[in-house]
């Protein structure tokens, strides 16, 4: 049971890692990824109520480089924490496998 939970947590952390990595890409790459995801996933509600939200966010980030830098540092710190957690979960999974291999066979006394 513990191994299944650790595997689930590892998959969720890897998905979060991919998302956090995409936030640090250049803006045009982010837009290309967003366009592909927009075609694959159902539409967001903000696109209906505020259709130019992504453009306004881009204008703020381009006009104020300090804000972009602060956001990049925020996402970079979350990325570092997430990577640390992935390593810890991975080691816990491997430790369980090694411990199982190190136990003597209980069927033959």
In this predicted structure, what is the pLDDT of residue 99? Answer: 66
Query: Does residue 105 form part of some domain?
Result: no
pLDDT for 87 beyond 70: yes
In this predicted structure, what is the pLDDT of residue 93? Answer: 92
Q: What is the pLDDT of residues 16-58, one digit of tens each?
A: 999 898 888 888 888 888 788 778 877 666 666 777 777 888 8
CA nearest to 64, candidates 72, 107, 48? 72
Query: Are the C-beta atoms of residues 86 and 11 closer than 8 Å to each other?
Result: no
Q: CA 43, CA 48: separation in Å to the nearest integer?
A: 9
Residue keyed to tokens 């250049």: 26
pLDDT for 74 beyond 90: yes
**Token representation of residue 75:** 């996402």
Query: Does residue 55 form part of some domain?
Result: yes
Query: Does residue 85 form part of some domain?
Result: yes
Query: Are the C-beta atoms of residues 6 and 95 closer than 8 Å to each other?
Result: no
Question: In the structure, what pLDDT confidence band is assigned to residue 2 with cuts at 50, 70 and 90?
Answer: confident
pLDDT for 66 beyond 90: yes
Query: Does residue 58 form part of some domain?
Result: yes
pLDDT for 64 beyond 90: yes
Long-range contacts of 4-11 (CB under 8 A, 24+ apart): 6/89, 6/92, 6/93, 6/96, 7/93, 9/89, 10/86, 10/89, 10/90, 10/93
Side-chain-facing half-sphere of 87: CA atoms under 13 Å: 6
Query: Does residue 109 form part of some domain?
Result: no
Domains of the chain: total: 1
* Structural domain containing residue 19: 2-99
Query: Does residue 16 form part of some domain?
Result: yes
Query: Does residue 106 form part of some domain?
Result: no
Question: In the structure, what pLDDT confidence band is assigned to residue 69 with cuts at 50, 70 and 90?
Answer: very high
């Amino acid at each position: 049971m513990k191994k299944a939970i650790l595997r689930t947590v590892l998959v969720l952390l890897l998905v979060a890692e991919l998302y956090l990595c995409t936030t640090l890409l250049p803006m045009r790459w982010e837009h290309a990824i967003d366009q592909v995801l927009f075609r694959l996933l159902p539409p967001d509600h903000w696109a209906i109520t505020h259709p130019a939200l992504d453009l306004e966010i881009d204008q703020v980030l381009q006009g104020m480089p300090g804000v972009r830098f602060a956001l990049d540092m925020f996402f970079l710190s979350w990325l570092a924490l997430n990577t640390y957690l992935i390593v810890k979960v991975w080691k816990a999974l491997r430790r369980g496998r090694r411990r199982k291999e190190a136990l003597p066979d209980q069927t033959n006394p």
